[in-house]
Amino acid sequence: MVEKSVIIIGAGIAGLSTGCYAQMNGYHTRIFEMHDNPGGLCTAWQRKGYTVDGCLHWLMNSSPGSEMYRLWEELGVVQGQQIINMEQFYRVEGADGKVLTLYCDIDRLEQHMKKVAPEDTRLISDCARAIRRFTRMNLPVLKAQELYSPLDGLKLMFKMLPFMGDLRRWGRISMKELALRFRNPLLRDAWLNMWPPEFTALFMLITLATFHQKASGYPIGGSMQVSRAIEKRYLGLGGEIKYKSKVDKIIVENDRAVGVRLADGGEHRADYVISAADGHATIFDMLDGKYINDKIRGYYESLPIFPPLVFVSLGVNRSFEELPKMISGLVLTLEKPVTIGGGERKWLYVRIHNFDPTLAPPGKTLLTIMMESNYPYWEALHKDLARYKAEKEQIADTVVSLLDKRFPGLAAQVEMRDVATPVTFHRYTGNWQGSFEGWLVTPKTLMLNMSKTLPGLDCFYMAGQWVAPGGGLPSGAMTGRYVTQMLCKRDKKRFAATTP
């Protein structure tokens, strides 16, 4: 039988995963990627001897025991990879010198929070009980919901029944709502800083459950290591990647996707086209907004997204060995609010990469500082390059001087400074508004299962964070598997997955 051909747009985690699964199922695939590296948002860059890691804090379900782990095995991410599990998630330092440590172990976390905030004992117990319960949950991720039979539905209901109460209860509350229920200001700040405020508290509690189980670790080598591992798996399966190949248009004939036209004018044809690139650009630019309905338009008009970031990186000639290894680092409460990058900041959130020696020369450390920002502000500023550059310098100066107060002498030890803005993220990955993870999962959108096809357009599919609210690397891996299952169903093939 002649292999059917598939063109995939984008070599982010979703595009690479789609390529791997499609190759495993006998499709001939080619990925067109506009950048010269794989990974999309899951990336890193070199600066003055430091590797700036632009993404991974934790790889969800990186240890055996969950369905998601099986996907990481199939994609060749975890084999031979050193994955570390840290004891602390992060630490909030109040302006008054008080400290709250978010331990990964739930018993320790519960005890510590109650000691710091006895007035919140009841709510702390409530959260800890939910986290403990979620440690027993194994989220079903192997099969696309679109392909569920009534029997699959029943099995799922049965499997999730013990968790339904907690899923409903915590799914209805946003991070901000939960944070504001704490009376203790440090606890409130801790929850406010964990994740964007509109995000559902449920996802955070589930994530904390995986930290307790040592199931969501950090792969030494960081983001690019993970992206390269999946790229290697894909190439090993016989796939092809064309780098520096930006897709301008999806070629459509008689309402059927038949190929792509690149920015250099080259045209390439295939039986199927799968976009694993930005959703907005795919729908409104590559397809000129011709294949859409009110529901999909509504997503882009009203659903909240993970905000774009100002991402400051510093290479510091200092070991930070006195600090514990922390997944997300320190939240420093500023003495008074400071305006940085168009927004007022009460906290500075600094990740100290003292856990990964591959990112800095011996005895030195990479620090990264993530600040939620606003795309229009940076888009406007970028029109005047001199002002844009000056603003970036100013941000680096401010951040360094704030950090120097917490770590005296640091300013003189900084040997590398790098500032990425929402415009940078957009330029390098094409993500709409510079978003760092696609759609937020809010209490309103928790149950949303977005379509991976577009109305009226045949032979076309979408994978990645713009069709899977919540985003993250798992969404890329899963949606790659799902669209391949959908192709197999259509071509009456039995879906198969292998491990290397």
Ligand X SMILES: Cc1cc2nc3c(=O)[nH]c(=O)nc-3n(C[C@H](O)[C@H](O)[C@H](O)COP(=O)(O)OP(=O)(O)OC[C@H]3O[C@@H](n4cnc5c(N)ncnc54)[C@H](O)[C@@H]3O)c2cc1C
Q: Which residues bind ligand X (CB under 6 A)?
A: 9-15, 32-35, 40-42, 54-58, 60, 246-247, 276-278, 281, 370, 429-431, 436-437, 464-465, 471-474, 476
Closer of 120 and 231 to ligand X (Cβ): 231
Give the nearest distance from C-beta 353 to ligand X in angstroms: 13
Q: Is 154 left (phi over 0), alpha (psi -120 to 50) or beta?
A: alpha
Give the nearest distance from C-beta 423 to ligand X in angstroms: 14
Closer of 342 and 430 to ligand X (Cβ): 430
Closer of 54 and 188 to ligand X (Cβ): 54
Closer of 259 and 474 to ligand X (Cβ): 474
Alpha carbon distance 38, 23 (integer Å): 17
Give the nearest distance from C-beta 372 to ligand X in angstroms: 11
Give the nearest distance from C-beta 63 to ligand X in angstroms: 15
DSSP letters for 161-217: GGGHHHHHHHHTSBHHHHHHH--SHHHHHHHHHHS-TTSBHHHHHHHHHHHHTT-SB
The DSSP output letter for 146 is G
Here the tokens at position 116 are: 């710091």
Give the nearest distance from C-beta 260 to ligand X in angstroms: 8
The DSSP output letter for 283 is I
H/E/C letters for each residue in 94-108? CCCCCEEEEECCHHH
Closer of 184 and 354 to ligand X (Cβ): 354
Secondary structure E strands in 373-439? 414-420
Give the nearest distance from C-beta 312 to ligand X in angstroms: 11
Closer of 14 and 215 to ligand X (Cβ): 14
Residue (of 28, 20, 139) closest to 498 by Cα position = 20
Closer of 268 and 364 to ligand X (Cβ): 268
Tell the residue number behind the tokens 């928790």, with chain if given: 446
Alpha carbon distance 258, 270 (integer Å): 6
Alpha carbon distance 474, 465 (integer Å): 9
Give the nearest distance from C-beta 55 to ligand X in angstroms: 4
